[in-house]
Amino acid sequence: MSKKILLLTAASVAAAYPFGAMAQEKDHEHSDDEIVVTGSPLAHPEHESIIAASVLTKEDLAKRGEASIGELLRREPGVSSTFFGPAASRPVIRGLSGDRVSVLDAGIGAIDVSSVSDDHAVAVEPATAERIEIVRGAATLFYGSSAAGGVVNVFDGRIPNKAPDGGIAGGLRTSLGSVDNSVEAAGGFDIKLGSVGAADLVFHGDGFARNTDDYEIPGFAKSEAQRVLEGAIDGDETFGIVENSDLESKGGSIGGSLIFENGFFGISGKIARSNYGVPGAVEVAVNGEIETVRIELEQERFDLMGELNSDFLIFDTAKIRIGYADYVHRELEGGAIGTTFKNEGYEGRIEFIEKTFGKFRGASGLQFKHRDFEAIGDEAFTPPNITDQFGVFTVREYETGNFHVQLGGRYEHTNIDAKTVGQERSFDAVSLSAGFGVEPNESLFLGVNLLRTERVPAPEELFSDGPHLATNAFELGDPTLGKETARGVEASLHSELGSVTVTINGFYTDYKNFIALTPNGAEEDGLLVFEFVASDAVFKGFEALSEADLFTIGAFEVTGRVQLDLVRARFKDDAGNVPRIPPLRSIIGMEATSSHIDLRGEIELADGQNNISAFELSTGGYQIVNLAATWRPGGKDRGFSVQLRADNVTDEEARLHTSFLKETAPLPGRNFKLTLRSAF
């Protein structure tokens, strides 16, 4: 199927290019609505970023609607999903996930336990997101060890940084879905309450609620390969539905800011509640009856954010962000609490952006975090532990004409104290990067980034020792694990010719002591034993994206989009493939937009994954067709729209190789989703 994907992708690019090339060349002057990446303290326009970063705007997010961050971003170049059911899906970036990919809440960690296990949901709600930034590749310099593989930074605006035009602004959204009988609603608003001296006082409020049943699928829940292994009989197997995949979640936040001429300062509070099933988990016997596993999640969070744009000493901007959260989730076995996970922590970062001196500019900052984690119960596979981390970082830039250089460095100290097992580990990590960018002309940008990063092992990688029913594994950590070191190079190309844009990112990363959760063939408590083992490994691959304005038909402007991504990851010394790596994938789409109606269609093509590790089954390829139509009765200047989506139109069976549940829980089948949006 890989040849078919490559041929279709190439044909789509070739077909799009002549139409786009005939259009007039774009004006390359920066505009007010230019998309700027803030993944580094020194922000850059998206098309001039040396690091592989991209932004999903509010308009982009309005076209989507998923219950988890992982599924929301799964179709972005270089991004897949852990897919542990609709509720618990984290992003997989370039084949990396878990503690290597940070999901941030406006620059601060989610302060949950989602990185401990794939069945733990991320406590960042996609329904209220207004902007999402994705950094592909190491963001360790700015966000620490847990960003060694990438960053997803979600902004929901609950701390306003500007006063709304007209004194009030907001929006509401509600949707209904057929594949799981879903009902969702979300809304938020900003209102100017008045003035305090020369500052505006702005209040924010938002809320969301979601309820779904078990989702439908086109065939058996278990894959054909798994059923053959188990000698399954068709009549005894679950068909047409993934059991225990329903969810119920709700939450909201309030916030307020004082917004003055050269900055703002604000605070917010947020609550989130969720109850969801864990599909495919080992069923447990309760009072002689077989029961499934569910998770009940609660989080209370408080944040403070401020920014001052004013000259002082050598600086012209200072930013502060601090978050505190109390998180708990209970794993319910037949309605009774089996295991309770608690995580109380805080995290903060302060950044200082310097004045520009000639052709030089720079920024520096510090980051600190505290995490008090505890697991109580039968499935407490990781002992209680306290993690304290402190880091300082700096980035320097020199820019002359069409050429610029970026140097960065970070020092980080981490202390992990596993209280009950009498283990304590301390690490000092240093990460460095050097980037070079050149813009030979206004239509082309080339960038190269060299990096050497050090990642500290996570507590679960060090100290795990126990059964984990959700992943059907007995997990064993290694308290002697050392730092994981990565040396790599990334190259990027961004070209704009007329109305055609092309972005290509390539990467090669050589890991020393890459920590992976791999099966060893043994069994414990009836579960396959998975060990955290450090081995040398190499990751390489690319992401390519092309977008073009194609032609105009009547009132419709037609655009096309083609993307292709690939990751290959192997352990050195012929030790085999790294597990759960996504296959070659392409997405080809076309959209027709007008003032009142938008029409969109895309096909996602995934190759089969046969580059597998020991005890891993191959995963078949798939082709998913998605369609959408949006109607705006009052035109684009009005805030009301109706969208009808048809996802997986052909009812294709599709399984993600990146998921622990791929053999027992495919992606949802055909789904019709009706969404109403209003803005004011």
Q: Report pLDDT for 525.
A: 80
* Alpha-carbon distances, residue 89 vs 71, 139, 346, 661 (angstroms): 6, 21, 23, 11
Among the residue ranges 8-22, 232-246, 470-484, the one predicted with the least confidence is 8-22
Measure Cα distances from 352 to 259, 319, 397 in Å: 19, 7, 14
Amino acid at 526: G
Closest to 330 (Cα-Cα) out of 120, 606, 524, 635: 120
What pLDDT score does 9 carry? 63
Q: How many residues does the chain have?
A: 680
pLDDT for the residue numbered 45: 72
Q: What is the 3-state secondary structure (H, E, C) of 548-595?
A: EEEEEECCEEEEEEEEEEEEEEEECCCCCECCCCCCCEEEEEEEEECC
* Amino acid 290: pLDDT: 59
pLDDT at position 336 is: 83
> Which of 480, 487, 351, 364 has the alpha carbon at shortest distance from 427?
480
Strands (E), 581-664: 585-593, 597-606, 622-631, 640-647
Beta-bridged to residue 211, according to DSSP, are 183, 248
Segment 329-335 mean pLDDT: 84
Q: How does strand 640-647 pair with strand 671-679?
A: antiparallel
Average pLDDT over residues 349-356: 93
The average confidence (pLDDT) of the chain is 89
- Least confident range of 15-24, 315-324, 446-455: 15-24
* Of 133-142, 316-325, 622-631, the least confident: 133-142
Closest CA to 24 of 499, 513, 401: 499
How confident is the model at residue 38, as a pLDDT?
55
Q: Which residue has the higher pLDDT, 49 or 4?
A: 49
Please give the pLDDT value at position 500. 95
* Contact assessment for residue 451 and residue 487, using Cβ atoms and an 8 Å cutoff: yes
The answer on pLDDT for 292 being more than 90 is: no
- Kindly report, residue by residue over 388-411, the tens digit of the pLDDT: 999 999 999 999 888 989 999 999
- Judge whether 141 and 409 are in contact, CB under 8 Å: yes
Q: What is the mean pLDDT of residues 15-24?
A: 40
Q: Which single residue is written with the structure tokens 């199927």?
A: 1
Q: Do residues 603 and 618 lie in contact, with contact meaning Cβ atoms separated by under 8 Å? A: no
Determine the Cα–Cα distance for residues 445 and 403; give it in Å rounded to an integer.
Answer: 10
pLDDT of residue 4: 61
| pLDDT for res 534 | 95
* Ranges 5-19, 366-380, 646-660: which has the least confidence: 5-19
- The pLDDT of 26-32, averaged and rounded, is 38
Q: How far apart are CA 9 and CA 588, in angstroms?
A: 7
Give the range among 42-51, 218-227, 441-450 with minimum mean pLDDT. 42-51
Tokens for 569, please give them. Answer: 């990851």
* Closest C-alpha among 146, 127, 90, 125 to residue 301: 125
Q: State mean pLDDT over 589-618.
A: 95
Q: Flag whether pLDDT at 26 surpasses 50.
A: no
The rounded distance, in Å, linking the Cα atoms of 625 and 587 is 10
Confidence class for position 7, pLDDT limits 50, 70, 90: low
pTM, rounded to two decimals: 0.92
Instruction: Please report, as a single letter, which amino acid is at residue 69.
Output: I
Contact status, residue 472 vs residue 527, Cβ threshold 8 Å: yes
Are the C-beta atoms of 355 and 311 separated by less than 8 Å? Answer: yes
Q: Would the pLDDT of 30 be above 50?
A: no
Residue bearing the bigger pLDDT, 37 or 595 = 595
pLDDT tens by residue, 527-557: 889 999 999 999 999 999 999 999 999 999 9
Please name the residues in contact with 668: beta carbons below 8 A apart, sequence gap of 6 or more: 86, 179, 180, 215, 216, 217, 647, 648
Q: Two tokens at 442?
A: 């206004």
> What was the pLDDT predicted at 24?
35
For 593-607, what is the mean pLDDT?
A: 96
The runs of H, that is alpha helices, within 45-156 are 58-62, 69-73, 140-143
pLDDT digits (tens, 9 = 90+) for 434-459: 999 999 988 999 999 999 999 999 99
Domain ranges of the chain: 2-679
User: In this predicted structure, what is the pLDDT of residue 159?
Assistant: 96
Out of 88-92, 233-237, 567-571, 662-666, which region has the weakest mean confidence (pLDDT)?
Answer: 233-237
The identity of residue 550, as a single letter, is: L
The CATH code for residues 2-679 is: 2.40.170.20
The candidate with the shortest Cα–Cα distance to 505, out of 522, 517, 493, is: 493
| Dist. CA 167–CA 258, nearest whole Å | 14
- What type of residue is 531? E
323 and 362 Cβ atoms separated by less than 8 Å: no
Which of the two residues, 41 and 416, has the higher pLDDT score? 416
What pLDDT is recorded for position 31?
A: 42
